[in-house]
Structure 1
Amino acid sequence: MRWDQLGQSENIEDRRSQDYADAGAGPSFGGGGGLGLGTIVILGVLAYAFGINPALLIGGAEVLSNMRGGGQVAQQRLDRPTRQAPTGAPADRQGQFISAVLAGNERVWSQILPEQKGIRFTPARLVLFNGVTGSACGRAQSAMGPFYCPVDQKIYLDTSFFRDMDRRFGGGGDFAYAYVISHEMGHHIENLLGILPKVQRAQQMASSRSESNNLSVRVELMADCLSGVWAAHADQNWKILEKGDIEKAINTAQAIGDDRLQRSAQGYAVPDSFTHGSSAQRVEWFQRGLQTGKIDACNTFTAQR
């Protein structure tokens, strides 16, 4: 992936050097809670027992569950004084890569969100951390994986997740990491479009856990598609894609599909319990965004499953 033409975003809050638990360094880069503590603990124990990254159980519920308690508690968290972290583009290679991908997202969405939907794009800040940190949606931990908090409109990323992608899911490579970051930015776009609040209300009215999970899947698949939309425009504008990049992103989408993870853990899949979508669905929606470059092509809520 050629990322040196994307620029550098200043919308990064780097908490890696503060006194947080050390989650370990991520991979080298080459080339140009919303959930209750008890729920997190239970899901974490189950995930580790089955040898699954807890992010894959917890992360899918984060986006929507983070909003269920209303804004009062979250606002109280925002009002608490916190130590100021360095902001702006980091100096290290990994930080510069992340800053470039964020800048590329900002440049694309600043153009196409007004053009295609008549909505002004406002940036989301990306928080880099090691191990654990605070967010307006609750405690952010490395076990939760990357997630977007709609309350403070920030993306939280412990870069050790990229190491997990390399070692456990076979989804490494610069463009695969860019896909992950852009997926979280996709949730921010969903929030700007007003989709996340609507889904939250629909989940509160859902008659079953299966119905609620179905809504979560649609949110996740739409974010996959929006990451493809970003990639399409970024490649059109700056020729970022190199041979093998698309395959790496597809491999990542396949590796973190609910069906593959469940079969790996228990030998069978339970579709009603999916929160992110199957491997085939994740690949399909990413490719749909990549091939069309259209936000409207990502409407998972009108599509038949």
Structure 2
Amino acid sequence: MTDLDVSTLRTAYDNQLRDRVPDPLPAGVTVERDGPLVRMLGLDHGGFLGYRTLGGLTGAALDELIARQRDIFAARGEPVEWKLHGHDEPADLPERLRAAGFVPEEEETVLIGPVAALAATLPVPPPGVRLREVTARADLDRIAEMESIVWDEPRDWLADGLERELAADPAVSHVAAGADGSQVWPQALTVVVAEEVESGRVVSAGWVRYVAGTGFATLWGGSTLPRWRSRGIYRSLVTYRARLADARGFTLLQVDASAESRPILERLGFVAVTSTTPYVYTP
């Protein structure tokens, strides 16, 4: 892709995704506007701060905005993430966040890829593994258990969050191409597991969020148990979810990719458009 293509994709990402409020909103989650910021409260793993642009805020005015977010979540006794992007202005924003007590976590790369080309590829998991769409709490708990092993920390909050999203997601009916009747599809979220056929153990999982009113579907998850890595499971989960997005009319996929996932995604045709770093304040 040319630089112009990357710039166009970055602009689409900024305009369509960055300050968008989840729709539908899970039970217990509230959204507030504070100047250019979108502040989300009531999430399972702390609060979240997003924005499309800070609107030229600098100096003392920017420090006041940052401090206000810190103080709100300090009073609530819960952590909050400020999602910083590599092309955000002003240039000294990272220093101002650190001065206010926000701590940077691992940087990821924002990648965008075309749905159509990926959807044309059949997802092929390795022998002994199957892909399956899930909604039951027992399956979500198994995903959280797998993620807890991969990251060596409790991830029970993940099952809670996915369950609330699924509960809020109204199923919609679509006419099935080439078949009589219709299919009932989730409107906002699909969760897919890769599991051992013999034992039923979840070895990897990913989910896709369909962002209404945009051309984007966004990919999440992808953690895989160590002994199942480098066997094509992650790739098969990507192409499976691309086909789901294609069936719903979305044209672009977006991923916040780790250093491990980025090369796989770039081989599949994804393009890096910027970086993103979570800056987290913990009371």
The structure in which a higher percent of residues are helix is 1
TM-score, normalised with respect to structure 2: 0.29
The structure in which a higher percent of residues are strand is 2
Which protein, 1 or 2, shows the higher relative CO under an 8 Å CA cutoff with sep ≥ 6? 2
- Point out the structure with max Rg over C-alpha: 2
